[in-house]
Each structure stands twice: as structure tokens, then as C-alpha cells.
Chains A and B, each alone.
Chain A
Amino acid sequence: EKTKEGLFSKLSRAIVGKSKVDDEVLDELEEILISSDVGVETTVKIIRRIEERVARDKFVSTSELDEILREEIAELLAQNKSEDITDAFKKSDIKPYVIMVVGVNGVGKTTTIGKLASQFHKAGNKVILGAGDTFRAAAVDQLKLWGQRVGIPVIDHGMNTDPASVAFDAVKQAVEQQADVVIIDTAGRLHNKVNLMNELAKIKRVVQKFLPEAPHEVLLVLDGSTGQNAFIQAQEFTKATDVTALAITKLDGTAKGGVVIGISDQFKIPVKYIGVGEKIEDLQVFNKKEFVNSLFKRKA
């Protein structure tokens, strides 16, 4: 395991030999936050809060800065009222538990579904996948290969069929076969395309005809290297489908994923999973404390 250098390890280098948080340190902090895609708005908010504390406490040593930052960021993440999930893949009382996975093109929806299916399966759940991306070239084949890897069935109607009826069928078969979890893949779509966003709402409605309380989870997948557009994605997908949870992918790259902080600050949707690679086991349940700690990790 390689240890990724945390967001703020650079900050500690910038302030060696100083005893007091001054403008230069705050500038450095601003650069770090913006460069991690936290976003200007949230960055300004964090800086302002620290400035206020410096003013109030008259003297803040740079060693205290780490602590204050930790608190501030933890608080931003806490505004997003989620409890940390400890038993994400345990059998639910709800059966079948229906998860619909949505997001813009290429973020990692299908891969995340493969990884999730594997975890649910390992935890003893009977899992069924629905091949609701009937549009992108070879999308059904891709999901089927994931199904094979995990060793679970994939319901598909082939390419260029109605995704809503695939979803309907997957849920219906899950009920008939007494499956525990159904995960429905959908085609990637940009949130500014009205027709495609309406199609998502339709998939949801059609599933509800069969199972009124489904989907129990609408998982929005965001690419961890996405910049400020992630905010609009969260906003628009929520409008169309009432997103209930987020998965942030590709955090094995060099992008710092600061977008998590900004999004937690502005939306009340919890981050549930993070993707850290292309392999079946490269999925982690999001843990706030670990995440904050990782931001402060020094290079090993």
C-alpha cells in the first residue's frame, strides 16, 4: 500500500520556523484548499473562520492550526448529518433492497456496481444486477462480465431497449427469486440534458409501480478528479431522482478529493463509498474520521 501524502502535509512544511499564523500561512492554506478542489466558497468560509479564531484568541501557534483545521473540516463534514456506516453490507430488513446507480458519463458507475455486488455477495446477500445502460456501446457486456466475476445473475434486455423496463424486470425477478439486493445500472448522462434526466425519473417511477418504496437507495457516483462541476451534478441529479448517497471514485489518483468537503458543506447527502482502484476489492465504506486523518497524513 502506498501512502498518499495528505492535503495539509504541505502546509506544515510551509510554516516551519514560524510560531504564529500570519497572512502568509493563510495564503498557503488557501492554495492548498483550492488546489484540492474544495472550491472557492468553502475555502473562503474555512479561512474566514480561522481568521476569526486568530483574532479572538490573539495568538494562535502554527501547531494549533492543525488542530483547528481538523475541527473545522470535521464540522463541515458533520453538517452532513450522516452517521458513519459500520455494517454497510449486512443483510437489510428490507427485501429486496433496491439500489439505483446514477451519474455523468465515465465516472465509474458500472465498476462501482461490480464492487458493491461483490461486497454484498460476500456478506451473504443474494444479489441481482439490472443492465439498465442499454445505450453506451457494450455497456451490457461490461456489466455481465462483472456479474460473472462476482458469480451473480444479470438481468438484461439487450442493447437499445427501454431501460425502465429492464429495471422493472430486475426488481420483479428479485422479488420472485427472493433476492436481498438489486443494483440497477444506468447509462451515463450529463445533468444538463433534460430528456436524459427525465428518463431517470421515469425509470424510478416504473420501478415504483411494482415496488412503491423502491428504490431504497439512489447512489450518485462522482469522479474524485472532477472539479467544481461536481456541485452542479449533485444538485441536478438530486432534483431528478432524490439522490440518497454518494460514491466518490478514482481516489487512488493524485486528485485530492477535496470536493468531498465542499459537497458535504453544501448538500445534506452522505458520502457512503469511495472507489480506490479498478479491481473488485477497491471499494471502501467512507469514514469521516479516517478521511480527515488522511488529509493530515505525512508522507510515509
Chain B
Amino acid sequence: MFENLSNKLNTAMRTLKGKGRITDVNVAATVKEIRRALMDADVNYKVAKEITDRIKDEAMGQKIVIAVDPGQMLVKIVHDELVKLMGSQVQGINLKSDPSVILIAGLQGSGKTTFSGKLAQYLKKSGRNVLLVACDIYRPAAIDQLKVLGEQVEVEVYSEPENKNAVQIAQNALEYARKIGKKVIIVDTAGRLAVDEAMMNEIAAVKEAIKPSETLFVVDSMTGQDAVNTAKAFNDRLNFDGVVLTKLDGDARGGAALSIRHVVEKPIKFISTGEKMDALDQFYPDRMASRILGMGDVLSLVERA
């Protein structure tokens, strides 16, 4: 369904061909195509507009490199801008406290529990003594799910199946971790909607009680236009430290990444690329930019010119 952006641009670009400079008139159609491509990739409407407006200003008057298509050159400008927007360097997580508390939050089904298991394995491999904490007291078999994952990655899971108070469980887990000398605790929480006042109060209270050094917002890369509203609402309540983008082993273009970054200005720290426990990766802004634009070939072309 989604054609390559550079293909789409070809038509629009014909008007640019043969002109020495990018000008107001000849750039309009192209910018429109780029905006459309961004929206096709689920970049939020307003964000797409802002970005393309900015790019238009930047591109205006630039000399077109003779060897390449002006369209390709614009795509390169767009790509660079997206990379810049998503933060140019890899960002780690803060593990300075003892024990360091990592709180996991997000919408239903976004991949929190799976990511918690992955992160536990990842930190364990880097030599840390990790405890997983099951604070989802709502979803059927949520505790069992985390326990199975804990077994798979050989990390202890703290749970209180009879306790219906997430704040208490989190506090008790922290106390337990201190007692037995765990260095990191990862707190998995129930999925919740940003508009669910009671549930948002719950996670705010959990955060307040255990003072995490790192709060991560987990978001499905297939999320559409609403990603910005959700991210903003979670950020307003939790002031999270970073974003985890999941299910990138799919073929969604993942424009939500760009929108969220643009709106809440928090770095994307990890990406999740499968159901298995080792399917965890760092976030590379340049790869994400190419993915959102649905291209790869154009860039190398421009680079060579």
C-alpha cells in the first residue's frame, strides 16, 4: 500500500528538475508529498505540518547538487531533520541508586511485561543483580506471565497474589530488594488508558512511593495519531525519563516515535523487536528516520553525490 517515498516524489519533482535552486513555487508540491508520507507513517498531523514547514524554510534557496535529483536532495534534508528531532545519540538508563528502581508504564497490550523480562535479562547480562516485581493486579494471569518470563531469563520475581494494592506491593518489593541486596528492581504495572483517572492515580502513587530512578513509557510502534495525546498524558502525570518502542519486528513505519519525541521531548531508549527475551535493541535515530520515510536507497544515493 505504501509506495516508496522517492517514487511518490518523482512526479512532484518533475517540476523541480532543471531548476538550479529550490524555490517557494517548485517546493510546494514536494513538501506536500513529504507531509503525506509522514502522515501515512502515522506521524501526527500537527507534528508533520510543523516539521515540513521547518524543512521548507531550510531547503529554500539551497543549491541543488547537479548529480542528484532535487527530490532526493529534499528527502535527505528531511531525513537529517528527523534524525536531529529524534535525538542524535544513544541514551542509556540511570542506575546510580542502590537499589535502582525502574518503573514500567503504558497502555494495555503495548508490551510492558515482555519488555520487563527483556530488560531484566539485559541488565543481568551486564552483571547486575535484578529483581522483577509484579504490580499488575488486574489482568488475568498477569503475575503468571511475569513469572514464566522470570524463569526464562533466570531472574527472581516478587509478587503478592493476594494483595490488591499495587502501591503496597511495590513498597514491599523495594524493602525486600534492600534486604537481600538486589541492585536493580524492575516494576511491571498494569496497562492503563490515560483517561482512566483512577488508574493514572494508582501509577502516580506507585511512582511517589518507590521513587524510581528511571520511569519508562512503553509504546506500540503500530500506534496511530493518538500516540501524542497518550504520551503527553502519561508524561504529565509521571514525567517519565524515556520511551520504549515495541513490535518493531513488524512493518509499521513507526511515525509515533517521531511524534512522541517531538511532543514530550523524552529520548527513546530501547526498541523491542520480537517476542523472545533477547529481542531488545538500542534505538538508532537514523534507522528510525529511514523507516518512517519508507526508504533506504535514496540516502545512499545522495551521500555518494
Is B223 interfacial (CB-CB < 8 Å)? yes
Task: Report the Cα distance A137→B276, complex, angstroms.
Answer: 10
- CB within 8 Å for A104 and B250 given contacts A35-B45, A40-B40, A278-B108: yes
- In the complex, the answer to whether A35 meets B225 with C-beta atoms within 8 Å is yes
Is B69 interfacial (CB-CB < 8 Å)? no
Contacts of A35 in B (CB 8 A): 44-46, 225
- In the complex, the answer to whether A228 meets B41 with C-beta atoms within 8 Å is yes
SS class, residues of chain B in contact with chain A: loop
Is B256 interfacial (CB-CB < 8 Å)? yes
Number of A interface residues in the complex (CB < 8 A): 46
Task: Report the Cα distance A114→B141, complex, angstroms.
Answer: 14
Q: Which listed residue, B44, B142, B147, B252, touches A229 by the CB 8 Å rule?
A: B252
B147-170 vs A: 1/0 string, CB under 8 Å?
Answer: 111001000000000000000000
Number of B interface residues in the complex (CB < 8 A): 50
Q: Of A67-75, A84-92, A140-148, A164-172, which stretch is located at the interface?
A: A140-148
Is A223 interfacial (CB-CB < 8 Å)? yes
Task: Report the Cα distance A39→B195, complex, angstroms.
Answer: 24
- In the complex, the answer to whether B41 meets A106 with C-beta atoms within 8 Å is no
- In the complex, the answer to whether B223 meets A225 with C-beta atoms within 8 Å is yes
- In the complex, the answer to whether A138 meets B144 with C-beta atoms within 8 Å is yes
Q: Which listed residue, B140, B193, B195, touches A145 by the CB 8 Å rule?
A: B140
- CB within 8 Å for A142 and B225 given contacts A40-B36, A106-B111, A227-B42: no
- In the complex, the answer to whether A37 meets B148 with C-beta atoms within 8 Å is no
- In the complex, the answer to whether B107 meets A225 with C-beta atoms within 8 Å is yes
Contacts of A226 in B (CB 8 A): 220, 222-224
Task: Report the Cα distance A144→B36, complex, angstroms.
Answer: 45
Task: Report the Cα distance A34→B39, complex, angstroms.
Answer: 8
Q: Which listed residue, A40, A144, A146, A223, touches B39 by the CB 8 Å rule?
A: A40
Task: Report the Cα distance A137→B139, complex, angstroms.
Answer: 13
Task: Report the Cα distance A227→B226, complex, angstroms.
Answer: 9
- CB within 8 Å for A253 and B193 given contacts A40-B36, A107-B109, A232-B251: yes
Is B30 interfacial (CB-CB < 8 Å)? no
Chain A's closest residue to B277 (CB) is: A137
Q: Which listed residue, B36, B148, B227, B229, touches A137 by the CB 8 Å rule?
A: B148
Contacts of B145 in A (CB 8 A): 136-138, 141-142
Task: Report the Cα distance A252→B193, complex, angstroms.
Answer: 8
Is A294 interfacial (CB-CB < 8 Å)? no
**Closest CB of chain B to A249's CB: distance in Å?**
9
Which of B2, B220, B253 has the most chain A CB within a 10 Å cutoff?
B220
- In the complex, the answer to whether B141 meets A142 with C-beta atoms within 8 Å is yes
Is B68 interfacial (CB-CB < 8 Å)? no
Is A130 interfacial (CB-CB < 8 Å)? no
A117-142 vs B: 1/0 string, CB under 8 Å?
Answer: 00000000000000000011111011
- In the complex, the answer to whether B230 meets A254 with C-beta atoms within 8 Å is yes
Is A36 interfacial (CB-CB < 8 Å)? yes
Task: Report the Cα distance A296→B247, complex, angstroms.
Answer: 33
- In the complex, the answer to whether B140 meets A142 with C-beta atoms within 8 Å is yes
Name 28 interchain pairs, CB-CB below 8 A, sorted by A. Answer: A35-B46, A104-B222, A104-B247, A105-B247, A105-B275, A106-B111, A106-B220, A107-B109, A137-B145, A138-B141, A139-B141, A141-B145, A190-B249, A190-B251, A223-B109, A223-B220, A227-B256, A228-B2, A228-B40, A228-B41, A228-B252, A250-B108, A253-B107, A253-B194, A255-B226, A259-B224, A278-B108, A278-B138
Residues of A with Cβ closer than 8 Å to B?
31, 34-37, 39-40, 104-108, 114, 135-139, 141-142, 144-146, 149, 190-193, 223, 225-232, 235, 250, 252-256, 259, 278
Counting from the closest, the 5 A-B pairs by CB-CB distance are A227-B224, A106-B109, A227-B42, A137-B148, A145-B140
Other CB < 8 Å A-B pairs besides A142-B139, A190-B251, A223-B220, 12 of them?
A31-B46, A34-B39, A40-B36, A106-B109, A106-B111, A137-B152, A190-B247, A223-B222, A227-B225, A227-B227, A253-B194, A253-B195
Residues of B with Cβ closer than 8 Å to A?
1-2, 36, 39-42, 44-46, 107-111, 113, 138-142, 144-149, 152, 193-195, 220, 222-227, 229-230, 233, 247, 249-253, 255-256, 275
